Structure 1
Amino acid sequence: MISNVTVGPGPINQPVYSFYWAKVIATLAVVLLHSHAFMSAPLWQDVPWLGLFLNQVTRFAVPLFFVIAGYLIQPKLQRDPWSTLMAYAKPLLKLWLVWSLIYFALPFNLGTVVEHGYWHERVGYWSQLMQAPLNTLFEGGLVHLWYIPGLLSGLLVMAGLIASGRVHWIGPVALLLYAYALMTSSYQPFTGLESAIFPRNGPFFSTLMLVIGFWVRAKGRPMSVTLAFIVSLLGMALHLTEAFFLLPLTDEYPGYDFLFATPLWAYGLLHLCLALPQLGQRQAWLKSLSEATLGIYLVHLLVFIYYKNVLGMLSLSGYWTEFLATPVVFVVSYLIVIMLRKSPLHRLLLR
């Protein structure tokens, strides 16, 4: 959710307009992922293979946001880590708190509200959140808000190491955090290890992605388009292969956020953007849309929840409802962001 694509003083001194495309495509992928497209049908041998494929092929999105963030913040973070972190964190923490309160307050199941009242619907959700208070602390009012604490906690780890003169430690520390997260989540059936906090939350996954962007910017050695495409494709193929072989280890359909190959996938995609820096330079609409991606991310899950409510009230179902979910949720979320920009609350609800 980065709003600035301009690369300042550093090894690669040019605007990277392709980050506009990266942000928009990644946001579409997040909406597709959270819309649970085709997870109920079609089925082949009672398994929704198309839905599972879409669930995993969209997993590049948040890692790509993280690596771009690490890339863009590198010069300032390395020069003045604490001031940079504070300036970066304040507006994001404000958004996390405000939208958490919104999601705490707004009902999700309108049928329950009509039948039993607002308080009954909300108390059930609040009780659910309180069953895992540490995760709720790192997620906020709704699960997708984990992105903001995840981003900031990863940057906190990096800023602390840089400020203490241990910049060379950020790679090993990030790898250790990532390995711990994998062992306690996707590969937990092999290790038997448990984590007090869901490993996707906090700095466990985010730090390595941020460090990848940080070091790519610091080293200033971009790949060719061909090599970046090959690395991206290889990373995606390995990620999907891991997910396929891990599938039989769980009793329910999993949603692997990150796997061993995911950093390679994100690394290749970042280099692909850097190898095509002028892509999107002349599309003014693209710049405008990319600047709305953080707002779309914040609001889209609520739009999807109400989309499902409306379908339920109208007794509508079928392939077409799943197919329409992503475009409807994306467009409605974008329109809401546009309206919020024009409202007196835009400084409170948007960055």
Structure 2
Amino acid sequence: MERNYAIDFIKFFAIFAVVVIHTFPLDSVMGFYMIDALSRFAVPFFFVASGYLFGLKMMNTREHFNYFRKYIIKIFKIYVCWLIFYAAYDVILILFKYKGFEIKKELINYFDEFSLFNLLYYGKGTSGYHLWFLTALIWSVLTVFIFFRCKKINMLFILSFVLNILGLLGQSYTMFFEFPVSTRDALFLGLFYTALGFFFADQVKCRKLKKLNVKTYSVLLFLLALLQVMEAFVLDKLLPGSHGEYFLSTIFLTAFLFYFVLTNNQSGKGLFVTKIGRNSLGIYVIHAFIINVFNMVLEALHIDLANHFLWNLVYTLFIFIISYFAYELLQYAERIVKKWNPVLLS
């Protein structure tokens, strides 16, 4: 099977968008708000890419369950390792920040959030707030696999689309009805975009997609990106909605980006940014830690970047670069450990 370099190429922009979301202050400058709204394609794109690659494997192997089992175990191991990492980091901070009986009180309050539902479904409880993506991906792939084995993928696609639309009521469309629970999860967000990726895999197998010219791609990308920013602005600033993490227009923008990926699969081949995109999951899991550390440094130095647009751009680039090389260093260390003790990490 020919490698699709365009997936990793777009992943580079998606993971950078994730770092932007987590580093930029939201409302202090209008430019921040617009960039934040534009960046909201990122996580849906990761779900679509995951669903697509999973779907391709399902359609090109007879060992469906074995691949599914290995896939889930791999993602679950990554989640557990980084959950432990962030929990240990949080506990160390508490031990340094508090003294005496305050330590016990803070630790009790901290571990109160460690319910099975929070840890295994919402992926929350630690400062690794972004780890929700991994649990959402696990549950989404599990659901897609069940419907695939039952030959009901089309039904799932329709059902997950309806759930995603309902999930908007817990996001930016709260003027109609506000969900009492978070809709940034597997059920309302991850499932639809993972199913969409699986649907794309099925379509690629059945038919050849038409490639558009560069001008058409550029115009459509600009219009769909503008539509997402406008939707976010109107709902949050002009109407009594709220700041959303995904929108109705996100569907069209993400689907279009993946259409580009499928019709230009050699885009980005040989580029350094494509190599970075290939390590997007590593950057994703570690970047929140890097942000926390450097935010503490800025706070200790009494540096406030909230109203400085250009300095925030520089800071975001800095966090992104450090996150990439930090994960590269971890991978290098893992290779060294495996070389000298292959049993330990087998």
Distance 1:250 1:153 in 2: 32
2:89 aligns with one of 87, 103, 106: 106
Q: Offset of 1:308 from its aligned partner?
A: 0.7
Once residues 287 and 119 of structure 1 are traced to their aligned partners in structure 2, the CA distance between those partners, rounded to angstroms, is 46
The answer for the alignment partner of 1:145 in structure 2 is 131
| 1:246 match | 235
Contact kept in structure 1, 2:140 and 2:190, CA below 8 Å: yes
Q: Does 1:309 align with 2:296?
A: yes
Give the one of 111, 125, 149 matched to 1:126. 111
> How far off its partner does 1:335 sit?
1.9
Q: Which has the higher helix share?
A: 2
Please tell me whether the aligned partners of residues 222 and 274 of structure 1 are also in contact (alpha carbons under 8 angstroms).
no
CA contact (8 A) 1:229 1:268 kept: no
Aligned residues: 324
1:194 partner letter: P
Alignment partner, residue 144 of structure 2: 158
- Residue by residue over 1:290-313, the C-alpha shift from the partner in whole angstroms, topping out at 9 and shown as x without a partner, is 332211110100110111100111
Q: Residue 26 of structure 1 corresponds to which residue in structure 2?
A: 14
TM-score, length-scaled by structure 2: 0.82
Instruction: Spell out the pairing of 1:156-235 with structure 2 (5 A cutoff).
Output: 156-195=142-181, 198-220=182-204, 221-225=209-213, 226-235=215-224
Q: Where do 4+ consecutive residues of structure 1 move more than 6 Å? A: 345-348
Quick check: 2:79–2:131 contact (8 Å CA) kept in 1?
yes
How far residue 56 of structure 1 moved from its aligned partner, in angstroms, is 0.7
Residues 52 and 136 of structure 1: CA distance in aligned 2, closer, same or farther (over 3 Å): farther
Q: Does 1:60 align with 2:46?
A: no
Q: 1:168 to 1:53 in 2, by over 3 A?
A: same
Contact 1:112–1:121 (CA<8 Å) still a contact in 2? no
1:43-98, CA deviations, whole angstroms, 9 ceiling, x for partnerless residues? Answer: xxxxx311111111111111111222222221323465533321211111001011
Q: The residue matched to 1:191 in structure 2 has which SS?
A: coil
Aligned letter for 1:206?
A: G
In structure 1, the partner of 2:50 is 69
Show the counterpart of 2:329: 339
Residues 181 and 204 in structure 1, CA contact (< 8 A), matched pair in contact too: yes
RMSD: 3.0
Q: Which amino acid aligns with 2:175?
A: P
2:171–2:243 CA contact under 8 A, matched in 1: no
Is 2:55–2:201's contact at 8 Å kept on the other side of the alignment? yes
Please name the residue that 2:280 is paired with. Answer: 293
| Structure 1 letter corresponding to 2:287 | H
Q: CA deviation at 1:38?
A: 4.5
Q: Contact 2:298–2:304 at 8 Å: present in 1 too? A: yes
In the TM superposition, what whole-angstrom CA distance separates every residue of 1:234-262 from its partner, at most 9, and x where no partner exists? Answer: 332222222112114569xx542111111
List runs of 5+ in structure 1 lacking aligned partners: 1-7, 9-13, 42-47
Query: What is the CA-CA distance between 1:203 and the residue it aligns to?
Result: 3.0
Aligned AA for 2:325?
A: L
CA distance in 2, matches of 1:321, 1:123: 38
Give the letter aligned to residue 239 of structure 1.
Q
**Matched-pair contact (CA < 8 Å) for 2:27–2:33:** no
TM-score scaled by length of structure 1: 0.81
| Aligned-residue offset at 1:192 | 3.9
Asked if residue 237 in structure 1 is aligned to residue 222 in structure 2, the reply is: no
2:320 corresponds to: 330
Indicate conservation of the 8 Å contact 1:300/1:329, yes or no: yes
Shift of 1:272: 1.7
The residue identity in structure 2 corresponding to 1:329 is I
Percent identity over paired residues: 22
Matches of 1:321 and 1:257, distance apart in 2: 24
Write the deviation string for residues 89-112 of structure 1: whole angstroms up to 9, x where unpaired.
Answer: 111100101111111121389598
